[in-house]
Amino acid sequence: MERKLILEDGTVLTGQGFGSSEGKVLEIVFNTSMVGYQEILSDPSYTDQAVVMTYPLIGNYGMAEADYETRIPTIGALIVREYNDMPSNYRSSQNLRSVMEQYGICGIEGVDTRRLTRHIRDHGSGKVLLTDAATPIEEGLQRLRRTELPHTAVSRVSRIDVEEIPGKGPHIVLIDCGAKENIVRSLVRRGARVTIVPWKMPSDRILARRPDGVLISNGPGDPIDVPETIQTVKELIGKAPLFGICLGHQILSLAYGASTYKLKFGHRGGNHPVKDLRTGRIEITSQNHSYAVDAESLRRTPLQITHINLLDQTVEGVSCEKDRAFSVQYHPESAPGPEDSGYLFDRFLERL
């Protein structure tokens, strides 16, 4: 199947299609990870996004049942240089194409992903139309101009019902804004009892469950699109230890009165160096976000900056010792990826 990518500035790239054939308008971003396409495909944080994979060969180790970050992937599309439809991996149960067809995810291969990544770096992330190669360019541009990207991603990926996972250790309430399963696995491995609640559960219902601590998860989109969660976290401050990851980091910062802004092309990959300002230690981290906390805005809050990104000096972590609250912009639960930051789960549980 011949397919076409049309960007907002009129740039056009063509290739062969795989996965779903449905045409879509999405936000285009890139990820520099060398492995982990299954985790990327199934990460709820990529909802409504077309992800350019900078590593050239995708699909070669198939899809393993144990490696999903959510059971129903909501990513918009994958854009790759070369797709491999014959995986070699004893753990694989399906190939990537069949999974993408099952969940309505578009794919295009044969694209010059180096050129496309440079375009995103130069011009920033924006809208892209994945469509049939026969679609006239002007028609595609008109569709891009009249289509607004939705602001409802969190509500579409969060659990609707409460889920209880037994454990003999401390009780953690996880606010699900699009939580990756490896966050849950990381807590359970440490013996925690985990209660996963929907993104807009009020604070009084969370406190009624008598949690030892509350974790605010990762998730898709702009943090200001979830004012209900921000209000909930604001009301939880000082009443329970708090830990935020990625979107949860932004939500916690907003709850304290800071502000956020959109990065030019975001951070997505498994090799971002982050410095812990308290110890001087540098961690190699996995990241996936479009927005960042404004460092200047933190001056009017009791939050202290604890971590910074060494590539662009953006805020990567904050903390308020008095309230036993802290958060990081990166992913300590990354899998596959660097394991430098797993200690953050231990630190959270120690604070309880």
Q: Catalytic: 139?
A: no
> 120, 29 in Cβ contact below 8 A?
yes
Q: CA 136 to CA 139: how far, in whole Å? A: 5
d(CA 227, CA 233): 10
How many other CB atoms are there within 10 angstroms of residue 234's CB atom?
A: 15
**HEC secondary structure over 95-159:** CHHHHHHHCCCEEEECCCHHHHHHHHHHHCCEEEEEEECCCCHHHHHHHHHHCCCCCCHHHHHCC
Q: How far apart are CA 51 and CA 290, in angstroms?
A: 13
Q: Are 307 and 298 in contact (CB under 8 A)?
A: no
Residue 77: left (phi > 0), alpha (psi -120 to 50), or beta? Answer: beta
**Annotated catalytic residue within 119, 289, 307, 331:** 331
Compute the distance between CA of residue 279 and CA of residue 170 in angstroms, rounded to an integer.
27
Ramachandran class of 275: left when φ > 0, alpha when ψ lies in -120 to 50, beta otherwise: beta
- Which is nearest to 108 in space by CA: 127, 87, 133? 133
Phi, psi of 163 (to 5 degrees): -125, 130
- Residue 246 is among the residues annotated as catalytic for this protein: yes
Bond into 336 cis (ω within 30): yes
The span from the CA of 108 to the CA of 28, in Å, is 13
Catalytically annotated residue among 106, 177, 246, 320: 246
Query: Which tokens belong to 277?
Result: 């300002």
Residues acting as catalytic residues: 246, 331, 333
